[in-house]
């Protein structure tokens, strides 16, 4: 498979039509149709279901679409890195992670690097640990931020000095808002909004003392802001980390910590034996120096 073939394939998948894709690509329809047939022959599986009005993807086609998008993105990143002069500290740094107050230490290092090397650009990607790990493995991001617990044995990593506190975001007029902290029993009969990352076998599920199937989980999400909108409308109680959503001042929401207290540490990780572009090396060194300086000042 060539990059050009993958771009053509993605165009057909997007347009759901050989003729429309050919027009967008400025190639002839017979030529594009032949290339897609050759691609199916090379892979050994049918990629398209050719209907009378539109083309849809088979399961194999859906998988190729996902991988093709990743390959094209990685190809563009590599092109950018190789086009930068070796003596010119510039380029793009890709960082993926979930929402967390503790990311401020990452922001500080990014600020330091950008102030000294203004041609360095940072690109942030939000997602759960599984998505971040997949993108890190596929070379689509340079660094991944993981909320513990998460198995980091296949990565090099640094522990970030800040920790997050777990609790519940609720409306200020909620019956539980009068409590100083929230126990598992308080939520057993309540509608719960959970992040998809916190579903399953982890310490949040263990804290509840009940399986997820036994709880009344009415909604799940990846972004806390969207989940907080559900809370405002009275859909349920959102189990989340503190200091991500504003619950002070005129906000209709409040935050109450869990009891027994539950905290999570964060790690920044990268692939072992990773060969970084110069800008990513500088960022990692600056982050390590900042963490060491903070540790020294606290001793």
With a cut of 90, say whether residue 274 has pLDDT above it.
no
What's the pLDDT score for residue 135? Answer: 92
Check: CB of residue 178 under 8 Å from CB of residue 186. no
What's the pLDDT score for residue 81? Answer: 64
What's the pLDDT score for residue 86? Answer: 55
Q: What pLDDT digit, counting tens, does each position of 127-153 carry?
A: 888 889 999 998 899 999 998 888 899
Mean pLDDT on 98-114: 91
What's the pLDDT score for residue 170? Answer: 97
167 or 276, greater pLDDT: 167
The tokens for 246 are 């504003």
List of residues 6+ apart from 111 with CB closer than 8 A: none
With a cut of 60, say whether residue 75 has pLDDT above it.
yes
Check: CB of residue 241 under 8 Å from CB of residue 103. no
What's the pLDDT score for residue 224? Answer: 87
Q: What pLDDT digit, counting tens, does each position of 85-101 carry?
A: 655 688 899 999 988 88
pTM of full prediction above 0.85: no
With a cut of 70, say whether residue 261 has pLDDT above it.
yes
Cα separation of 282 and 82, whole Å? 17
Q: What pLDDT digit, counting tens, does each position of 171-225 carry?
A: 999 999 999 999 999 999 999 999 876 655 578 888 999 988 999 999 998 888 9
What's the pLDDT score for residue 91? Answer: 87
% residues pLDDT > 90 (the chain): 56
Mean pLDDT on 99-120: 92
What's the pLDDT score for residue 196? Answer: 74
Distances (CA, A) of 1 to 31, 41, 296: 16, 11, 52
Mean pLDDT on 218-233: 92
Q: Round the average pLDDT of the chain to a whole number and report it.
A: 89
């Amino acid at each position: 498979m060539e990059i050009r073939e993958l771009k053509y394939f993605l165009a057909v998948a997007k347009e759901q039509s050989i003729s429309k894709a050919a027009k967008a690509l400025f190639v002839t329809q017979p030529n594009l149709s032949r290339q897609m047939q050759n691609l199916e022959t090379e892979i050994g599986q049918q990629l398209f279901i050719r209907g009378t009005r539109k083309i849809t993807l088979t399961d194999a086609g859906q998988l190729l679409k996902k991988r093709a998008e990743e390959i094209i993105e990685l190809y563009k990143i590599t092109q950018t890195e190789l086009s930068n002069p070796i003596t010119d500290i510039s380029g793009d740094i890709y960082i993926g992670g979930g929402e967390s107050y503790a990311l401020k230490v990452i922001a500080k290092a990014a600020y330091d690097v950008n102030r000294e090397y203004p041609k360095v650009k940072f690109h942030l990607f939000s997602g759960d640990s599984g998505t971040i790990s997949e993108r890190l493995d596929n070379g689509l991001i340079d660094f991944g931020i993981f909320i513990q617990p998460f198995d980091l044995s296949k990565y090099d990593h640094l522990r970030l000095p800040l920790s997050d506190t777990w609790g519940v975001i609720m409306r200020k007029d909620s019956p539980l808002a009068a409590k100083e902290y929230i126990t598992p029993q308080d939520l057993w009969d309540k509608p719960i909004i959970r992040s998809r990352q916190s579903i399953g076998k982890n310490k949040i599920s263990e804290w509840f003392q009940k399986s997820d199937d036994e709880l009344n989980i009415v909604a799940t999400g990846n972004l806390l802001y969207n989940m907080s909108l559900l809370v405002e409308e009275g859909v349920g109680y959102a189990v989340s980390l503190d200091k991500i959503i504003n619950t002070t001042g005129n906000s209709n929401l409040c935050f109450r910590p869990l009891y027994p207290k539950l905290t999570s540490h964060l790690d920044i990780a990268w692939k072992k034996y990773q060969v970084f572009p110069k800008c990513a090396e500088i960022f990692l060194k600056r982050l390590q120096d900042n963490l060491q300086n903070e540790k020294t000042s606290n001793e």
